[in-house]
Structures are given as C-alpha cells and as structure tokens.
C-alpha cells in the first residue's frame, strides 16, 4: 500500500449549527464516497489527539486555554463564522492529531502519501485567534512537527483553497524553512494574500501568493502550477509537501466563483505528485480545508485519492491562460522573479 487515509466518524461530532456550511454532512458525504467508490488498497489511519505542546508549536498557550474552556458548553461564539459545540475542542485536537499521525506513517516508510480527511479545517486559524471555521491550524502544526521531530529543513505548503490561508502565511512569514504557496480568489475572505506579500527578513521570498479574480478554470490553475509553482519548487527542493486542499474552487461551490471540475483536481494532484517524486521521495500529504458542495467534495476528493493511489487517469487538460489572465499574473511573475528564476 502506498497511500493512507485518515478517517474517523468522530469528526462529525463538531457541529456549528444546522445551517452552517461547515457542517458534519461534509465529512459524512466524503466517507460514504470512500467506502463505496475507493477500491484500491489503502491504509486506514486512526487519528490520535494532538498533544497540547504540539498545538503550542503554532498557537499561544492562552489561546489553547480559550478553546479548551469551551469543552462541554453548548455554544461559544469565537468569531462571526466560528462557533463551538460541546466536543469541538476534542475534535479539533483530533483533526490536528490525525494529520500528525499521517505524517508519522509516511516518515516511517509505511506509506508514500496520504489524505487526512479531517475537520474542522485549519488554515485561517491564527496564533491567538479562531476564524473562518478554523480552530487549530492543522497544516502549520504539521509543518512544525516535521521540522522538530524529523529534523527536516525545507517544507513546501501548497494551498489551493478558494480562500487565502492567512493563518498559515502568518505562522511562517519571517522564515525560510517553510515555503508557503497559495492560489486564492481575491478580493475575497479574509482579504489577505496580495501578490506583494512575499515574507519579511529571512523569510522574504518564501511566501508566494497568486491572487485571482473569479472564473478561473482547470487550465488556469494547471498553468499556474506548471509556470510558477514548479520552477520555484525546483529551486527550493522541498523535503516534504503538505497540501491545504480546499474544494471550494469547485465549479458549483456555493461560496466560490471558480470553475475547477472533478478532473481538474486530478490534474493538479498529478502535478504535485510529480514534484514530490522529483524532490521528496514521493512524500506528500493532503489535508482537507474548505469545500461546501457535497458532490464537489465527493468527486474532487475521489480524483485526488485515485491519483495518489496510482489509479488516476491522465487528463487532457492543457496548461493555458487567456490574455486577460496573463495580464493578471504579470505582477506576480515580476515580483517572484526577484527571488526565483521562473
């Protein structure tokens, strides 16, 4: 088996309300798809609770206390979009811990790659603030874990969620041991991720933001991955790739304005697998972020899983952009050529 999947029905026990888009039905739909439609052999990874000291690699102890104190309470409003239920603290620990368990399984050589199908999501969570449906920044905690436990020196985080991962960016903005690459709809929540946000001090150049107007499709994303991400990765030579995989860029997502199809997710995954093969001994781990159309979640994740499991079909999507998109990307190329040969 080359692929692992983090899967646990307890992730349904975090519930922000019947009408909240980030609700337990998301994980239910995903798991039903996995059980019915994924036939290749994979290792099912049982998550563990993240330790408090692991959470504190990214978050302040005072913030951890705030989230811990919500345990057992019916409803605590942390921001206009983010509320807790009685077991949210525990399930948020399970989300981060699920990602860490998958990292261990990859680093121990039991699998090559994986997908942590966890919730709540994480990439908006700041050091001392919950926001955007997120409590603990799962992918940032995972990156720190790779550096501290396994002594790695270069981690690439790729974030294709519709929304900019402000929390992930801010966690590593002044560092060069983690390179953060984000495509996101702009202007859009949370309002960060402009192309001139490139890092500071020794981290300058190690944040790459690709803000995009709505309407981008498979071909646009593949072009960006091939023409911007791939050349940067070739120079950076990551030792592990973490992917904040948001499926709200799906063409029918209620919160989005992008036009990526199911096979588009497969094409993007194939491109990332190629980078992982070239530079990190195939070590790549996806973690679930957004995505609020249930069919989009099911079919997009199915395509990712098929590709990482070696069962995906090669697509005929061409990496191409319109003249308007070429103008839109011009300042990004101009900015990034100061740091990388792209």
pTM as predicted = 0.98
Which token pair is 169? 């960016």
Residue carrying structure tokens 């992930």:
168
264-303 tens-digit pLDDT: 999 999 999 999 999 999 999 999 999 999 999 999 999 9
Quick one: which of 132, 124, 96 has its CA closest to 16? 132
Residue 307 confidence class, pLDDT cut points 50, 70, 90: very high
Per-residue pLDDT, averaged over 32-58, amounts to 98
Quick one: which of 265, 298, 306, 304 has its CA closest to 39? 306
76-79 and 82-84 as β-strands: parallel, antiparallel, unpaired? antiparallel
pLDDT at 323: 97
pLDDT at 167: 98
Contact criterion met (CB below 8 Å) for 270 and 315: yes
Residue carrying structure tokens 């709200």:
248
Contact criterion met (CB below 8 Å) for 255 and 298: no
DSSP 105-128: HHHTTS-SEEEE--SS--TT-BTT
Per-residue pLDDT, averaged over 206-216, amounts to 98
Per-residue pLDDT, averaged over 147-167, amounts to 98
Per-residue pLDDT, averaged over 72-92, amounts to 97
pLDDT at 189: 97
Contact criterion met (CB below 8 Å) for 337 and 228: no
Q: Map out the domains of the chain with their CATH numbers.
A: 3-336 (3.40.800.20)
Which token pair is 326? 């070429």
Contact criterion met (CB below 8 Å) for 117 and 305: no
pLDDT at 73: 97
Least confident of 18-22, 54-58, 131-135: 18-22
- When the pLDDT of each residue in the chain is averaged and rounded to a whole number, the result is 98
Residue 228 confidence class, pLDDT cut points 50, 70, 90: very high
178-185 and 207-212 as β-strands: parallel, antiparallel, unpaired? parallel
230-239 tens-digit pLDDT: 999 999 999 9
Judge whether residue 212 has pLDDT over 90.
yes
CA angle centred on 276, ends 270 and 280, rounded to 5°: 170
Judge whether residue 213 has pLDDT over 90.
yes
3-6 and 43-45 as β-strands: parallel, antiparallel, unpaired? parallel
Contact criterion met (CB below 8 Å) for 260 and 91: no
Torsion angle of alpha carbons 125, 126, 130, 132, nearest 10°?
-50
Active-site residue set: 124
DSSP 148-165: HHH----EEEEE-SSS--
Per-residue pLDDT, averaged over 144-152, amounts to 98
Which token pair is 188? 């859009």
Going from the C-alpha of 217 to that of each of 126, 254, 322, the distances in angstroms are: 30, 16, 11
Contact criterion met (CB below 8 Å) for 194 and 209: yes
164-187 tens-digit pLDDT: 999 999 999 999 999 999 999 999
CA distance 198 to 200: 7
Residue 1 confidence class, pLDDT cut points 50, 70, 90: confident
Judge whether residue 18 has pLDDT over 90.
no
């Amino acid at each position: 088996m080359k692929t692992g999947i983090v899967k646990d029905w307890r992730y349904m026990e975090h519930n922000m309300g019947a009408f909240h888009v980030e609700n337990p039905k998301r994980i239910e739909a995903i798991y039903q798809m996995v059980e019915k439609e994924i036939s290749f052999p994979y290792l099912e990874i049982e998550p563990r609770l993240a330790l408090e000291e692991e959470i504190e690699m990214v978050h302040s102890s005072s913030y951890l206390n705030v989230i811990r104190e919500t345990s057992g309470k019916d409803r605590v409003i942390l921001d206009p979009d983010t509320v807790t239920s009685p077991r949210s603290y525990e399930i948020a620990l399970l989300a981060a811990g699920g990602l860490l368990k998958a990292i261990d399984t990859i680093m121990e050589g039991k699998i090559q790659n994986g997908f942590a199908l966890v919730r709540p999501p994480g990439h908006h969570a700041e050091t001392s603030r919950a926001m955007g449906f997120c409590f603990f920044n799962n992918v940032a905690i995972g990156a720190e874990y790779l550096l501290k436990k396994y002594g790695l020196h270069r981690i690439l985080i790729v974030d294709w969620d519709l929304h900019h991962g402000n929390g992930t960016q801010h966690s590593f903005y002044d560092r060069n041991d983690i390179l953060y690459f984000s495509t996101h709809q702009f202007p859009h929540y949370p309002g960060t991720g402009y192309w001139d946000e490139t890092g500071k001090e020794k981290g300058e150049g190690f944040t790459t933001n690709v803000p995009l107007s709505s309407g981008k499709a498979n071909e646009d994303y593949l072009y960006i991955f091939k023409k911007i991400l791939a050349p940067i990765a070739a120079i950076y030579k990551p030792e592990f790739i973490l992917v904040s995989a948001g499926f709200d860029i799906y063409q029918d997502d209620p919160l989005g304005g992008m036009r990526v199809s199911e096979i588009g997710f497969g094409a993007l995954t194939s491109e990332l697998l190629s980078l992982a093969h070239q530079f990190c001994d195939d070590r790549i781990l996806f973690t679930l972020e957004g995505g609020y159309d249930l069919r989009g979640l099911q079919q997009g994740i199915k395509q990712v899983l098929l590709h990482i499991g070696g069962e995906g079909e090669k697509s005929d999507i061409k990496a191409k952009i319109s003249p308007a998109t070429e103008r839109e990307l011009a300042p990004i190329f101009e900015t990034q050529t100061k740091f990388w040969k792209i």
